[in-house]
Amino acid sequence: MAEWDRGDPARGPASRPLATGGTLDVDSLKAAYRAGVFPWYSHGEPVQWWCPDPRFVMRPADARISASLRRTLREAAWEVSCDRDFEGVMRACAEQPRPGQSGTWITEEMVAAYCGLHRAGLAHSVEVRRGGQLVGGLYGVALGTVFHGESMFHREKDASKVAFAHLVSRLEASGFRLIDCQVPTRHLASLGAFAVSREAFLAALRSWRDERPPGDPWISPPGPA
């Protein structure tokens, strides 16, 4: 198995890339995520590899599902699945307008690499449909009992929140310990994410990245209550 060899994540810059350049493929992504590193860059730039300090994380059991979201989840029209359209979810995330951003970091190179990681069984998606149409979803990378969230999207109100609620329910039911949210946002904080030191995150990742979860979150455990 390839190992990360492009700088010590524990000693890298807190708010700048740890490394720049290299290739983006299945092997490099595996090595990066195992080391707590993720790619984040824009079209036309070389690959930039990040390991920020602090790190934003969430415990699946501590996710905040509001009363209004619980009412939304009880609507019968939502159709929720996992891993049925990974590439479609990635491309929809790339098209999602985001405040303060004029483009997307989800380049064609990134789509190809993560689809390869999906075929390898490490990258996963949650899809939300209404009337057979894809209206929301998210994707990320699972290593051991840690899920590294990458991006989410919605084409209808609350559809991404429905995907999130199903994700945390499935992860909790399957024995996952941590969701890596990577960088702070107000939205993620409202859902229960919090900051930890990079040192603490990397120690947790080393402990849990090879831990086999007691369940499989991608094969329909119970949905959110």
- Per DSSP, helices labelled H in 21-143 are 26-34, 67-73, 86-95, 108-119
> pTM score, two decimals?
0.94
Predicted pLDDT of residue 162? 94
Give per-residue pLDDT as tens, 68-91. 889 888 877 899 999 999 999 999
Q: CA-to-CA distance for 49 and 60, rounded, in angstroms?
A: 26
The pLDDT of 95-100, averaged and rounded, is: 66
Please tell me the least confidently modeled range out of 113-117, 187-191, 200-204, 219-223. 219-223
* Radius of gyration of the CA atoms of the chain, in A: 17
Q: In order of start, what are the domains of the chain with their CATH numbers?
A: 9-50 (3.30.70.3550)
Q: CA-to-CA distance for 210 and 18, rounded, in angstroms?
A: 24
Give per-residue pLDDT as tens, 4-47. 999 999 999 999 999 999 999 999 999 999 999 999 998 889 99
